[in-house]
Amino acid sequence: MAGKTAGKEKRKKKGRRHGLRRKVVVGAPPGELVATPDAPQAIMRAVAVSGEAIDERPLEGVGDLAALREAHDFVWVDVVGVDDVEAVRAVGEHFGLHALALEDVVHLGQRPKAEIYGDHLFVVGSLMHQPAVDVLEREQISMFVGRSYVLTFQEREGDCFEPVRDRLRSGRGRIRRSGADYLAYALLDALVDHFYPVFETMAERMDHLEERVYGVDDQGEVVTELSTLRHALLELRRQVWPLRDALNVLMRHDVPIIQPETTPYLADIHDHLVRLVDMTESLRESAASLLDVHLALQSQRLNEVMKVLTIIATIFMPLSFVVGLYGMNFDTSSPYNMPELGWRFGYPVVLGGMALVAAVLVWAFRRAGWLGR
């Protein structure tokens, strides 16, 4: 019973999982960003790269940006906290971003996508968090890429870009020399890398569920957990698949911001995403097949239970009838009224007869394969 209650609570937790996020104020003109009351202030960090030198610093406002951009080849601005609509609008105005794209940054719950706006690209991606083993939370990561800047927006603290920052700091590889588009690639790559541990946890849960399906104990939660797992896999696929389309957009269209040397790198991410979808599909098929196995085993167990019942009933009902027969109170005065009750060997004969009946029945069951296990 405890398991059931726990299951209920889990379901409560994923109550808002249907992907719905209300659009803000109905009737507001599109492109108008409405401030969220009491939103915490956004944190902005800039990394400016110039030849082989970098300048990493927190930003107080967009005021510092102009100087920084002038002094360096390209700059990466990372904004954490998109509820601070004022900050988003200020950054957007500084870089001359399209109002609809800015709206998508603030109105969370967008599907991953890539859009091309004249002189800048707009990419929406997903970062999957797993606060608990069967809870999957999505954080929307938005990215703008121009000739000399990359702009990333994260919902909250705790990011996946630290390895890229490390590489920028250490100067390893070609990341400092290769321009904004290569940096954008490195960030997307880091984003995609974070799908792997999520998938791994699911694969482990799958293995765990398989052991339980084949085991004899507590099957109660298997169906529920399989259903939760399939839902999570679907959710994962729903984030990975459109990202693949987004990369297609970046690779196929003749996008001037993406230099030809960067395209093979994007193709590499594309490859990873295809493999991820592949693996997810494989796991989903395993889950579906495990449900089949579970149901088949259950029906098999029912068959066995029913066989036990039928064997018991088939053996003991005739025997009970016989002993009931000799329990009838027919007068012993009439010679036709169960004379065997008075026979010297009546009781042993009856007992032997009953043993014979039971033996014949057991033999018949064995022949029919019911006792063959």
- List the interface residues with a copy of itself, window 252-281 (CB under 8 A): 264-265, 267-268, 271-272, 274-275, 278-279
- Piece in contact with a copy of itself (CB under 8 A), picked from 53-61, 76-84, 150-158, 231-239: 231-239
Binding mask 141-180 for a copy of itself (x = CB under 8 A): ---------------------xxx-xx----xxxx-----
| Cα dihedral across residues 49, 55, 59, 64: positive or negative | negative
Taking CB under 8 A as the rule, which mask of x and - marks residues 38-77 in contact with a copy of itself?
A: ----------------------------------------
Q: Pairing relation of β-strands 74-80 and 149-154? A: parallel
In the bound state with a copy of itself, the residue whose beta carbon lies nearer, of 148 and 314, is: 314
Residue nearer to a copy of itself on the CB measure, 149 or 195: 195
Pairing of strands 120-129, 113-117: antiparallel
User: Is residue 119 close enough to count as binding a copy of itself by CB under 8 A?
Assistant: no
Does the protein bind a copy of itself through residue 86 (CB under 8 A)? no
List C-alpha distances in Å: 229 to 26, 181, 199, 210.
35, 36, 11, 12
Q: Give CA–CA dist 262/287, Å, rounded.
A: 38
Give the whole-angstrom CA distance, residue 204 versus residue 358.
Answer: 50
Is 217 a binder of a copy of itself (CB under 8 A)? yes
59 membership: H or E segment, kind and range: strand 53-59
Residues 301-340 that bind a copy of itself (CB under 8 A): 301-303, 305-310, 312-314, 316-321, 323-334, 336-338
- Structure-block tokens of residue 258: 């993406």
SS3 160: coil
Q: Which stretch binds a copy of itself (CB under 8 A): 42-50, 56-64, 86-94, 185-193?
A: 185-193
C-alpha 186/C-alpha 150 separation (Å) is 11
Q: Is 7 in the site for a copy of itself (CB under 8 A)?
A: yes
